[in-house]
Structure 1
Amino acid sequence: MGANLQITEKLENYIKDFSFKLNPIQQEIIDYNKTLGEIKRMQIDPSQCYFLHLIIKVANIKNVLEIGTFTGLSALTISLALPNDGKLIALDKNEETNKIAIDFFKKAKQDHKIQTIIKPAMHSFEELKNEKFDMIFIDADKMNYKSYYENSLQLIKKSGLIIIDNVLWHGEVIDEKNNDKFTENMREFNNFVSEDKRVEQIIFPLGDGMTVCRVL
């Protein structure tokens, strides 16, 4: 039986050399985030950029909601993959990082596809109640994941995709000795989604782990 490879930096570079190339502005965001110290961990991994690009193209996604934007890498990745008439609504409460993200969107000439809403996501769901999305990407504060997920189920189209980042939580979800509130919360969330009959779901070991749910 085959086993998953350990992805070293050298192997990661090899994969990049033989994969679809990132947009220069995506790479610019990655380089900028490297200057931010510890909070750079809030960025998605480049492997997740490739995955999001492919799944949007294959599934003919046109209308997307993002919960958690940071400096804009995931949002820009999604927008670049969307058709010209596609739309992304990006929710984030941080004004400072939103300004940075918007500058990158403009530089990549994608700002016409992206609407940013700067307030806590929980305050935006009521405003969006008449919207229906093909895909929702959740990558925000982890303690609210279940609430984001439940609200997403009200906004997603049938057979739409809900994608959730950080579900492996740095590998801590399998460490029985780790009982901090964030790890416990992620374990409980993963268990909840795995038992949810409203969706079928798969965890992909990309970045910090991504759950992809297809709404039944």
Structure 2
Amino acid sequence: MGANLKITEKLQSYINDLGLKLNPIQQEIIDYNNTLGDIKRMQVDPSQCYFLHLIIKISNIKNVLEIGTFTGLSALSISLALPDDGKLIALDKNEKTNEVALKFFKKAKQDHKIKTIIKPALESLEDLKNNKFDMIFIDADKMNYKEYYERSLQLIDKDGLIIIDNVLWHGEVADQKNLDKYTVNIREFNSHIANDKRVEQIIIPLGDGMTVCRVL
């Protein structure tokens, strides 16, 4: 039986060199985030940008909801993959980082596809309850993950995708002795989805771990 490779930094660089290339504005966002100190961890990994790009392309996705935007790397990655008439609604509660994201969206000439809403995501999800999306990407405050997921299921039709970031939580979810509240919350959330008969799902070890759910 085959085993998964350990992805070293050298091997990851090799993969990146032979894979999709980042848009210059995506790289600008990464460079900007690298100046922010520890908070840059809120950014998705470039490998996840590539994955989101391909999943949107092959699934013919046009309408996307993002819960948690930060400075806009994942949102821009999604928007660049969408057709010209595609739409992304991006939810975040931080006005300062939203202003940064908007500048990058405009510079990349993607602002016509992206609408940002700045207030607590659960309030925005209530406002959007009559909308339908082809895909929802969840990457916001981890303690509300289960609620975001349940609300998302109401906004997705059959065969729609819900993708959730940070589900491996730096690998700590596998350590049953780790009782940190965030680790426990993510571990319980992962179990909830694994036992949810409304979806079929897989965890992909990209970045900090992504769960991809197809609604049944």
Question: What is the aligned length?
Answer: 216
Aligned partner of 1:63 in structure 2 is 63
Cα distance per residue 1:63-88 (max 9 Å; x no partner): 00000000000000000000000000
Cα distance per residue 1:125-177 (max 9 Å; x no partner): 12111210000000000000000000000111211000000000000001122
Runs of 4+ in 1 over 6 A off after TM superposition: none
Cα distance per residue 1:27-68 (max 9 Å; x no partner): 111111111111111000011011000000000000000000
Higher deviation after alignment, 159-168 or 5-14? 5-14
Alignment of 1:1-216 (within 5 A): 1-216=1-216
Q: Could you tell me which runs of 5 or more consecutive residues in structure 1 were left unpaired when the two chains were aligned.
A: none
TM-score using structure 1 length: 0.99
Q: State the alpha-carbon separation in 1 of the partners of residues 200 and 91 from structure 2.
A: 25
Structure 1 position 10, deviation (Å): 1.6
Structure 1 position 2, deviation (Å): 2.0
Q: Could you tell me which runs of 5 or more consecutive residues in structure 2 were left unpaired when the two chains were aligned.
A: none
Q: State the alpha-carbon separation in 1 of the partners of residues 105 and 211 from structure 2.
A: 26
Identity of aligned residues (%): 81
Query: What SS does the corresponding residue of 1:126 show, helix, strand or coil?
Result: helix
Q: State the alpha-carbon separation in 1 of the partners of residues 89 and 141 from structure 2.
A: 18
Cα distance per residue 1:95-151 (max 9 Å; x no partner): 000000000000000000000000010011121112100000000000000000000
Q: What is the RMSD of the two structures over their aligned residues, measured on CA atoms?
A: 0.7
